[in-house]
Amino acid sequence: MAKSQQTYSKTEKEKKRLKKREEKQKKKVARKAAKDGTEGIPFAYVDHMGNLVDTPPDPTKKVKVDAEDIVLGIPKKEEGDEEKFDPVRSGKVSFYDFNKGFGFIIDSENNEKYFVHV
């Protein structure tokens, strides 16, 4: 008596593959049915306050804006707007290592520590 050419594991793999194919086909049919039921992309409108709403905005509340009034980019600086920056700072040395040539200085204005290297 000859042994069967298909082993148990081969038959199990075949069953698993067929089951997977059937599930995939069912999902495909379900997606197609769900797709036919929708009416498309829903619309969202923006009202006069900038909020998203389902209904179209009221045209009487629409505000007209002139294109010349819109400022693009960075506004020009006026001469009086600039603050004077003093690059010289004063402070107290809190730590300094002579061998390695670095240390920390505490600023006298805002008490921040600054790293210095010589």
Confidence (pTM): 0.31
Asked whether residue 79 is domain-assigned, the answer is no
DSSP 22: H
Helices (H) and strands (E) in the chain, counts: 1, 5
For residue range 70-93, list pLDDT tens digits in order: 888 887 777 766 677 778 889 999
Asked whether residue 60 is domain-assigned, the answer is yes
For residue range 14-43, list pLDDT tens digits in order: 999 999 999 999 999 988 887 766 666 678
* Res. 110: pLDDT tops 80: yes
What are the b/e assignments for 56-87, b being 16+ CB within 10 Å?
Answer: eeeeeeeeeeeeeeeeeeeeeeeeeeeeeeee
- Strands (DSSP E) found in the chain: 45-46, 52-53, 91-97, 102-107, 113-117
- Taking residues 39-56, what's their average pLDDT? 81
Structural domains counted in the chain: 1
Domain range for 98 is 12-73+88-117
Asked whether residue 38 is domain-assigned, the answer is yes
